[in-house]
Chains A and B, each alone.
Chain A
Amino acid sequence: MKREHEEICGATSYGSGSGSKAESSTIGNPNKGKLWEEEQDAGGMDELLAVLGYKVRYSDMADVAQKLEQLEMVMGTAQEDGISHLSCDTIHYNPSDLSGWVQSMLTELNNPAAVNLDPVLGNSNSNSSILGQINHDPSKPQRQQQLVSSNQSQVYNDDSEYDLRAIPGVAANPPPKSESDSESTRKRMKTSIGSSGSTGYGSSSSSPQGIGVSGAVTESTRPVVLIDSQETGVRLVHTLMACAEAVQQDNLKLADALVKHIGLLAASQAGAMRKVATYFAEALARRIYRIYPQDSLDPSYTDILQMHFYETCPYLKFAHFTANQAILEAFATANSVHVIDFGLKQGMQWPALMQALALRPGGPPAFRLTGIGPPQPDNSDALQQVGWKLAQLADTIGVEFEFRGFFATSLADLEPEMLEIRPPEVEAVAVNSVFELHRLLARPGGIEKVLSSIKAMKPKILTVVEQEANHNGPFFVDRFTEALHYYSSLFDSLEGSGVAPPSQDLVMSELYLGRQICNVVACEGMDRIERHETLTQWRTRMETAGFSPVHLGSNAYKQASMLLALFAGGDGYRVEENNGCLMLGWHTRPLIATSAWQLATTESGK
């Protein structure tokens, strides 16, 4: 929000104060720092605060932050009614001038009057929770100041908290003494900041003292603010959230400014955070400018990306192994089995199953595989190639094998009759879906149709592996937040996977995830196919559709744990059992979930 104000010289000018000379500048352009002729260097305006409506220059940032911190300290230590006059008595003529505003508050506090100040106190308390999350070391005033400034400014964005157009008070007639006091104070504070900065000027720095002590006024130095990457990390997250909010409110100008800022902030980070921020920023930019990503990419390209993802981290392997274990246990006594794979891709799941079937006591059953995949743009029969490879392997290990491939743009287009299902007495059927079902949620009625098709196939078992996240909520901001946390964990786990950074595998895996991020954030409607939902949501859906859960046994759990232990960085991965379903997560955050289902009929289950 931008506000237009006229400066009233007598009231809030503090001599050659920094931000208080609002010389008819158009507030809309925060980069015109040159209009401000001050004794200090005229740095540019801080863009972030400018976007929020406050004009604070880069050179004054540390100063303002320190003042805010003092203010907070005083407010915290004052008697309950010691500072309340600030809300009623003080005139603020230029609220966008954060620096001057805070200064006026501080001079007020020098001359305390007794009025109630609950609202402001209440606000600073609510702020403390934000600050509390951030571990700031009190001995590092720089970091804390920046935090305070960014957090406080967000609070003050909300006008309704207190009426800034207050009745005239002491601030209207500042005694000349306070003017010089504040000037020298400001200079003193600046000096102290300058000396604690990297340039190391003048006297030693100390943590901010109360005002009124006029120390030696040395030459005003340009304060140097140390950019702390942890603090910029927090700023980055806040900026991302603010941008998402702006997008949701359709405030595209603001969103645009913020997106650019994200780019800057992301550059100061390292590792996973930077990559995640970059992908999210790109996705937001696409959403803002409506440059939607082409969905009709060569499926073999996505297959390649997924292969690299398969190799780098255990998620897909975990999915395959646990699903295979469930299918194996369901097929324990069958002589002829049929597996329908909703997303065949490269068929990496099936060699292990075939090998386990081959080693089954009693010999292998006849194994039939139906693979479903997206249509290829160049009409090459990718499915048939995969089927051929699997057939070769089956031949090697002595398993009778049959393969059929089906091209389908969407699973909802499939009809059970096309798949030539044989009756359950002849052949046991298993349906397997790894990261495929959530795409159906984009189409109304899609998932219901597919689930009823599955029921018509009368499977012995249905294995479902899905991402454990809610990226399908009705509000954009909620989806955005969820996705941010989810993909941050994922990228963290990739970083911890022990792969040397410029490895092609790692880059491709990240690209694979990046495309998902793009879809979650930038697309809408039918295009948004990455509609992940949590296990609980899927459970409800499956149970409503007429399936009952099958518990994955301890064998699956053991295999999964062992598999994870093999991965470098394996101690970060966790397998959890959740009511018979297995979840793989990174540290405390579950990321994917495998579940198994059977038809909830009166017939004997197993």
Chain B
Amino acid sequence: MVQHHHRNRHRQDQETVEENKGKRPKLFINDHVDILVEILKRLDGRSLGVATCVCRLWCTIARNDSLWEDLCFRHVSPPPSSVRSVVVALGGYKRLYMACVRPVLSRLGRVRRASWTRDEVQLSLSLFCVDCYERLGGSNSPNGRLVGELSPSSLMFLCKPVNV
């Protein structure tokens, strides 16, 4: 639905622009990917998720992990570079955000407000790491019965609705 709306708007833009008979240069955002990226960088998590549904180009861009990294650390002083390698290894910033940062922030009531502190991100990282550990299968070992049986659920408590 959103896709449709956006496409319509683009077409409309194009049409209105064409109506102006070349008095103004045509601006089709998809031609200016760097501007698009700058815009998307400033979106919040939900909008970024929505943006991936717009069109293929937007999807590719919005799925880029660096955008999500900016989202995670936006209001926090830039973390040391080592964080990136760790997070990427554990599954990427988008996963970090969706699995941990967002639930953590919403539980702590901070999603709407702009700023959050380093601590929340640190905590999310720790929980994320535990989750990744759980997901590691014991594929090599023959007696992996215990390891394989337990589905990763250390983050289940974040998914449960609060104050049911």
Residues in chain A within 8 A of chain B (CB atoms) = 300, 303-304, 307, 310-312, 314, 321, 346-348, 351-352, 354-356, 358-359, 361, 363, 380-382, 384-386, 388-390, 392-393, 396-398, 498-500, 505, 558-559, 562-563, 565-570
Known: A311-B154, A361-B80, A398-B86. A385 touches B130 (CB 8 A): no
Output the nearest chain B residue to A307 by Cβ-Cβ distance: B150
Which residue of A388, A390, A500, A562 contacts B108 across the interface (Cβ within 8 Å)? A562
Q: Is the CB of B90 within 8 A of A397?
A: yes
- Provide the residues of chain A in CB contact with B120, threshold 8 Å: 562
Which residue of B108, B119, B140, B149 contacts A566 across the interface (Cβ within 8 Å)? B108
Q: Is the CB of A397 within 8 A of B146?
A: no
Q: Is the CB of A388 within 8 A of B140?
A: yes
Q: Is the CB of B157 within 8 A of A568?
A: yes
Which residue of A348, A351, A396, A566 contacts B158 across the interface (Cβ within 8 Å)? A566
How far, in whole Å, are A391 and B41 apart by their CA atoms in the complex?
Answer: 35
Most B Cβ at <10 Å: residue of A314, A321, A393: A393
Q: Is the CB of A562 within 8 A of B119?
A: yes
- Decide if B99 is an interface residue (CB 8 Å cutoff): no
Which residue of B85, B89, B90, B162 contacts A568 across the interface (Cβ within 8 Å)? B162
Q: Is the CB of B133 within 8 A of A351?
A: yes
Which residue of A304, A312, A390 contacts B146 across the interface (Cβ within 8 Å)? A304
- Decide if B123 is an interface residue (CB 8 Å cutoff): yes
How far, in whole Å, are A363 and B162 apart by their CA atoms in the complex?
Answer: 38
- Provide the residues of chain A in CB contact with B122, threshold 8 Å: 559
Which residue of B86, B146, B161, B162 contacts A385 across the interface (Cβ within 8 Å)? B146
15 contacts between A and B (CB under 8 A): A311-B153, A347-B133, A359-B82, A382-B146, A388-B138, A397-B86, A398-B86, A498-B164, A505-B153, A559-B119, A566-B103, A568-B160, A568-B161, A569-B163, A570-B107
Most A Cβ at <10 Å: residue of B125, B140, B160: B160
Known: A385-B141, A390-B133. A359 touches B108 (CB 8 A): no
Q: Is the CB of B146 within 8 A of A359?
A: no
Residues in chain B within 8 A of chain A (CB atoms) = 79-80, 82-83, 85-86, 89-90, 103-104, 107-108, 119-120, 122-123, 125-127, 129-130, 132-133, 136, 138, 140-141, 143-147, 149-150, 153-154, 156-158, 160-164
- Provide the residues of chain A in CB contact with B163, threshold 8 Å: 498, 568-569
How far, in whole Å, are A352 and B125 apart by their CA atoms in the complex?
Answer: 8
Known: A389-B147, A397-B89. A352 touches B126 (CB 8 A): yes
- Provide the residues of chain A in CB contact with B161, threshold 8 Å: 498, 568
Q: Is the CB of B162 within 8 A of A498?
A: yes
Q: Is the CB of A393 within 8 A of B136?
A: yes
Q: A397-B85, A398-B85 are in contact. List 20 more A-B contacts (CB 8 A).
A: A300-B145, A307-B150, A348-B133, A351-B132, A352-B126, A352-B127, A354-B129, A358-B82, A359-B82, A380-B143, A384-B141, A385-B141, A388-B140, A392-B136, A396-B90, A398-B89, A498-B161, A562-B123, A567-B157, A569-B163
- Provide the residues of chain B in CB contact with A570, threshold 8 Å: 107, 162
- Provide the residues of chain B in CB contact with A321, threshold 8 Å: 126
Which residue of A348, A356, A397 contacts B154 across the interface (Cβ within 8 Å)? A348
A386 CB, nearest partner CB in chain B, Å? 8
- Provide the residues of chain B in CB contact with A351, threshold 8 Å: 129-130, 132-133
Output the nearest chain A residue to B91 by Cβ-Cβ distance: A396
- A interface, by DSSP: helix, strand, loop or mixed? helix
Q: Is the CB of A566 within 8 A of B107?
A: yes
- Provide the residues of chain B in CB contact with A358, threshold 8 Å: 82, 86
B135 CB, nearest partner CB in chain A, Å? 10
Which residue of B127, B143, B154 contacts A310 across the interface (Cβ within 8 Å)? B154
How far, in whole Å, are A505 and B157 apart by their CA atoms in the complex?
Answer: 11
- Provide the residues of chain A in CB contact with B82, threshold 8 Å: 358-359, 363
Which residue of B127, B136, B147, B160 contacts A498 across the interface (Cβ within 8 Å)? B160
Output the nearest chain B residue to A352 by Cβ-Cβ distance: B126
- Provide the residues of chain A in CB contact with B83, threshold 8 Å: 359
Which residue of A311, A382, A568 contacts B164 across the interface (Cβ within 8 Å)? A568
A597 CB, nearest partner CB in chain B, Å? 24
- Provide the residues of chain B in CB contact with A392, threshold 8 Å: 136
Which 6 A-B pairs rank lowest in CB-CB distance, beginning with the nearest? Answer: A351-B133, A355-B129, A352-B126, A380-B143, A396-B89, A351-B129
Q: Is the CB of B150 within 8 A of A385?
A: no
How far, in whole Å, are A66 and B161 apart by their CA atoms in the complex?
Answer: 48
B48 CB, nearest partner CB in chain A, Å? 23
How far, in whole Å, are A311 and B163 apart by their CA atoms in the complex?
Answer: 17
Q: Is the CB of A352 within 8 A of B140?
A: no
How far, in whole Å, are A243 and B152 apart by their CA atoms in the complex?
Answer: 43
- Provide the residues of chain A in CB contact with B119, threshold 8 Å: 558-559, 562
How far, in whole Å, are A348 and B133 apart by their CA atoms in the complex?
Answer: 8
How far, in whole Å, are A356 and B125 apart by their CA atoms in the complex?
Answer: 9
- Provide the residues of chain A in CB contact with B138, threshold 8 Å: 385, 388-389
Which residue of A304, A397, A558, A565 contacts B107 across the interface (Cβ within 8 Å)? A565
Most B Cβ at <10 Å: residue of A311, A351, A358, A380: A351
- Provide the residues of chain A in CB contact with B133, threshold 8 Å: 347-348, 351, 389-390, 393
- Provide the residues of chain B in CB contact with A356, threshold 8 Å: 126
